[in-house]
Chain A
Amino acid sequence: MKRHQFRQDALIEVLHKAQELFGFLDSDLMHYVARSLKLPTSRVYGVATFYHFFNLKPKGAHTCVVCMGTACYVKGADQVVAALEQCTGVRAGETTPDGKVSLATARCIGACGIAPAVVYDGVVTARQSPADALANVKGWLGHAA
């Protein structure tokens, strides 16, 4: 798995790989990484929490990432987020208590030509209105309403 180098400067690479395999980074995993790369655990924790890409908690079954880049923002991405927050009852960056949906915002996914963009489970979708987004996410939540 991390046989690609065991070099200490590959810490971020290794964490990427670990997250890809396990979904998130828990204490045991970080401890293991620290041990393998011969780094203090505090160093691994410091790096893992510095970068927003790494999750220390498990993610929901589905993820919905709303792009909040400038182009998307001026085209109303904030309203999409507000609608989703209201619908799911969690704030951006959190996961619903039932573990079904993680809601997040991104700092520009570079798809400004099709703003506002939303990424549903890794699929970038163009020109989303609050209603579009709600329709998608409600499906995941399995709301009767």
Chain B
Amino acid sequence: MLLEDLIKIKEAELARRKKHTLRCCLAAGCISSQGQAVKDALDQAVQAAGLAAEVEVRGVGCLRLCGEGPLVAVDPDGVLFQKIRPEDAPALLSTLQGETSPLDRGDLQSPFFKHQLPLVLENSGLVDPDRIESYIAADGYLALRNVLREMAPPEVVSAITKSGLRGRGGAGYPTGLKWATVAKTKSTRRFVICNADEGDPGAFMDRSVLESDPHRVLEGMIVAGYAVGAEQGFIYVRAEYPLAIQRLQNAIRQAKQMGLLGSGVFESPFNFNIDIRIGAGAFVCGEETALMASVEGRRGQPRPRPPFPAESGLFGQPTLINNVETFANVPPIILKGPEWFASIGTDKSKGTKVFALAGKIQTTGLIEVPMGTPLRVIVETMGGGAPAGGQIKAVQTGGPSGGCIPASHLDTPVDYESLTTLGSIMGSGGMIVMDQTTDMVDVARFFMEFCRDESCGKCVPCRAGTVQLHELLAKILARQATQRDLDRLEELCDLVKHTSLCGLGQTAPNPVLSTLRFFRHEYLERLQPAHPNPPSAPPTPATQPPNTAPVNPGAPA
């Protein structure tokens, strides 16, 4: 495989293009609403109408509007059909001849799309994830070729450093620095790991990227392998994502056939292999050291750091661990230059971020916006606010490690630092919107239950502390707690946050702390007065009615 071959494939692929292209979303969301049947029906309808020479039906990755699936986009007309049923296929096809049809059309000019800046997702919904040629036609693997032919490993590292890219897994560690640390170790064996153990409930960005554009992640990993001097990579994917696993396996096979993986990548002396490791349902394996233990086939329990994985990681060797989205950012940085990347976003947070917008919101789906976009633009302008006259109460970011940002802070720009100031984190990008019917204490309890069940059990504060925290929250929720219990809750949060071994425990109290900070009144109104005698009124039944408390945003404690 050489540059000429790459160009040939691209030209052949572009020559295959027909007058019309029907892009059918075949990502998990649409597949679960019969997306595959829609594509098959369209295929049949095209054959039946004798339009095979003019119309291409292409299965693609995520078309973003996951709440309205199955989605079909039509090129070059730029029309997006939503909620298509298989029997709609002939009607959809007839619109190509200019006929009108009553099918539900999405508005590609709506704010939901207009404010997006697709970078990681630039190919998502365009390329066929099952065909490497389709990715190559979108300039895929060109970055890898340029890197191998024109750049020395230190130059690659410095390009990443200059771009200002930060880890997209949540903590925001500078990616260039991580690469440089691994590259500088004195070991002969190094590893690259792609963390695709997207465990945060409410997050599906990595899944979409893997299902829509798997080759891009592979390309990012190979570039990383070259930059840090590794020959073996692993992708750790959750077992809950069978489609992503299947597409990755397929992508790896294709890349090997083309000589883009294996020995002598692009006919250079550089060798690189990628294996898939499948998780088995443990949230804690998103933590670096636990993930490595799991790749080694052991119980996914974290270990104390230092030593950091960059020095002593997988099998005791220096290991580079980055998240899916981080790797997906690498090819465009190489192709378009670090300066271009650094021009997007804010001073300290460069580039874009993919968010999975879900919960009590009009438009759910996948969005990618420049760093620094105000939260309000994301949830109100793009997401359309709460459905049916509801009112947004809070936005939860960062999953069980994050916090709830109240409506009064919606003008906060979304970047690493601003979210941390509010007691939340960027996290991997799940954004759950809550409206006035959502009970914040119950949300805190929900996340604590999650952390309790997902605690690995190694260190005491996380194993035993989350149990007690959950119990206290349930007690408050059942209106059986007193001020003393609330004090204990806060004391325990402090303990668990500061003494736990790994990130899971250290961040487990965040949802409690942030709801205590912004919605303390919801806790207080449930407390019983500290009477020596129990009050005569029977306690409210434990099944909570929807919270009727007045929405009182803007009362930070």
Cα–Cα, bound, A124→B31 (Å): 8
- With most chain A CB atoms within 10 A of its CB, the pick from B201, B278, B295, B447 is B201
Interface residues of A in 48-67 (CB under 8 A from B): 50-54
Asked if A68 is at the interface of the complex by the 8 Å CB criterion, the answer is: yes
Chain B residues near A106 (CB-CB < 8 A): 240
* Minimal beta-carbon separation of B324 from chain A (angstroms): 12
> Which partner residue on chain A sits nearest B62 by CB separation?
A113
Q: Among A15, A51, A107, A115, which residue has its beta carbon within 8 angstroms of that of B300?
A: A51
Cα–Cα, bound, A113→B207 (Å): 13
Chain A residues near B7 (CB-CB < 8 A): none
Say yes or no: A114 contacts B201, CB within 8 Å.
no
Q: Among B315, B364, B396, which residue has its beta carbon within 8 angstroms of that of A113?
A: B364
Interface residues of B in 412-461 (CB under 8 A from A): 430, 432, 434, 438, 443, 446-447, 450, 453-454, 456
Asked if A36 is at the interface of the complex by the 8 Å CB criterion, the answer is: no
Asked if B69 is at the interface of the complex by the 8 Å CB criterion, the answer is: yes
> Which partner residue on chain B sits nearest A119 by CB separation?
B32
* Minimal beta-carbon separation of B478 from chain A (angstroms): 15
Say yes or no: B300 contacts A71, CB within 8 Å.
no
Say yes or no: A70 contacts B446, CB within 8 Å.
yes
Say yes or no: B201 contacts A12, CB within 8 Å.
no
Say yes or no: A51 contacts B281, CB within 8 Å.
yes
Asked if B229 is at the interface of the complex by the 8 Å CB criterion, the answer is: no
Q: Number of B residues contacting the other chain (C-beta, 8 Å)? A: 56
Say yes or no: A9 contacts B430, CB within 8 Å.
no
Given the contacts A47-B297, A70-B359, A16 and B239 also touching, CB distance less than 8 Å: yes
Q: Among A9, A74, A117, A125, which residue has its beta carbon within 8 angstroms of that of B359?
A: A74
Say yes or no: B203 contacts A110, CB within 8 Å.
yes
* Minimal beta-carbon separation of A56 from chain B (angstroms): 13
Say yes or no: B299 contacts A47, CB within 8 Å.
yes
Chain B residues near A73 (CB-CB < 8 A): 201, 446
Say yes or no: B450 contacts A107, CB within 8 Å.
yes
Asked if B42 is at the interface of the complex by the 8 Å CB criterion, the answer is: no
Chain A residues near B430 (CB-CB < 8 A): 70, 112
Chain B residues near A125 (CB-CB < 8 A): 32
Say yes or no: A51 contacts B282, CB within 8 Å.
yes
Asked if A13 is at the interface of the complex by the 8 Å CB criterion, the answer is: yes
Chain B residues near A9 (CB-CB < 8 A): 295-297, 315
Given the contacts A9-B295, A124-B32, A71 and B358 also touching, CB distance less than 8 Å: yes
Which residues of A are at the interface with B, using a C-beta cutoff of 8 A? 8-13, 15-16, 43, 46-47, 50-54, 68-71, 73-75, 106-115, 117, 123-126
Other than A51-B300, A70-B201, give 20 A-B pairs with Cβ distance below 8 A: A12-B277, A15-B280, A16-B278, A43-B298, A54-B280, A69-B202, A74-B438, A107-B454, A108-B203, A110-B204, A110-B207, A110-B241, A112-B202, A112-B203, A113-B65, A113-B66, A113-B69, A113-B358, A114-B33, A115-B359
- By Cβ-Cβ distance, the 7 closest A-B pairs, closest first, are A113-B66, A51-B280, A124-B32, A69-B201, A11-B297, A112-B358, A70-B202
